[in-house]
Amino acid sequence: MLPLKGIRVLDLSRLLPGPFCSMLLADFGAEVIKIEDPKKGDYIRWWPPLLGGTSGFHIVLNRNKKSVTINLKSDEGKKIFLELVKKADVVLEGFRPGAMDRLGIGYRVLKEVNPKLIYCAITGYGQHGKRALRAGHDINYLAMAGVLSYTGTEEGTPVVPGVQIADIGGGGLPAAFAIVLALWNREKTGKGDFLDISMTDMAVMWNCLRWGKFLADGKVPRYGDDMLNHGYACYSIYRTKDGRYMSLGALEPQFWENFCRALGREDLNVPEYFTPGEHQKRLKKELEEIFITKTQSEWIEFFAHVDCCCEPIRNLDEVMNDNEFLTRGLVVKMLHESWGAYMQLGNAIRSTQMQPLIRSHAPELGEHTEVILEEILNLTTEDIKKLRDGGII
């Protein structure tokens, strides 16, 4: 079952946060129509490396979607967009506050056209406030939210996460959640809504555990000061003989006990393993000397049947070829008539009643312009030719 079948989303967003949001909606049946500039479209289409002339980023983020090109700076293009809005459920955009208003198609205009419209705006700092118009990227939002203040090495050097936490976890994911909430609320009230999703605001919420600790002890978080932040030997990363790494997460007493027993080092199983202090550095040093004696593959085999939360740090090639992920649908084998065979990233949501489905590849720029204008707006072939000749689509 695709629970969002029948929901139409007009997606004006680009790059990562908005497209990730609409990808989630599309995977569960929403008709997502990317509204793109006729000349360049979504910038991420052209970011190398390319697969068959198309960016790998675009291939993953924009599956299950349709692409319509409209010049929104033209009067005729705005008219077409407004006609589409009349028959849409959601408009999603990721511009700075006021950009849509300057085009003459902001929320106040759109809600007059469609009072039941759900309008979702993803921005760096929200629609209002002194920072609202500042430019930014994931690294800036995490910095402003305090996340990077304790994400780093024990030497106190901040580290940029390899995953765009604010873009995805602060923008795309909460936007999808908010849209579904608004659609459900519309079912009960009959009213549309404006959703103000700030990636920095949401990144602040990712501080929940450290926030709680700070409330209780009044200590400002810093690098390597906590059990989940390089502070404890039982929860850390260790280099192996072949230059790879193992992750150890033996926080609970039973896991630490199993870990020590497997190593034949019951002497390490003392209450102090789970208390802060200088002894953690000494314990970590001992574990470093232990882990460096075997290769990663040897440690994988060693801990295969030990219940102690010790797993290898794997690269994406290994993840992509993991049979368990293939079985669970996180890696999906696809075949494109131009690109050839490739591995698509699946959807992690599992349910007994709903099943995400990858129905189509990421679209070419403007691939669905004609069919959408014909089906939704009842334009004729001649009408469409005039629009194309005039640079409107």
Catalytic residue list:
137, 167
Show the tokens assigned to 329.
């649908």
The dihedral over CA atoms of 110, 112, 117, 123, expressed in degrees to the nearest 10, equals 40
For residue 27, the one-letter residue type is: D
Nearest alpha carbon to residue 24 among 45, 9, 6: 9
Cα–Cα–Cα angle for 262, 268, 270, nearest 5°?
A: 120
* Three-state secondary-structure class, residue 194: strand
For residue 249, which phi and psi values (nearest 5 degrees)?
-130, 45
Residue 122 forms beta bridges with which residues? Answer: 197
Strand arrangement, sheet containing 90-93: 65-69, 31-36, 8-11, 90-93, 118-123, 193-198
Percent helix, strand, coil in the chain, to 5, is 40, 15, 45
Beta carbons within 8 Å of 308's beta carbon, 6+ residues apart: 248, 250, 255, 256, 258, 259, 262
Tell me which DSSP letter residue 158 carries.
Answer: B
Question: Is residue 184 classed as helix, strand or coil in its secondary structure?
Answer: helix
Peptide linkage before 276 cis (omega within 30 of 0): no
Dig out the tokens for 6 from the structure: 């029948």
Q: Which two tokens stand for residue 165?
A: 């936490």
Paired with 197 in beta bridges are: 122
What whole-number distance in Å separates Cα of residue 22 and Cα of residue 13?
A: 9
Helix axes 369-377, 75-86, angle to 10 degrees: 60
Cα distance between residue 39 and residue 42, in whole Å: 10
Torsion, Cα 272 275 277 282, to 10 degrees, reads: 50
Nearest to 210 by CA among 145, 257, 132: 145
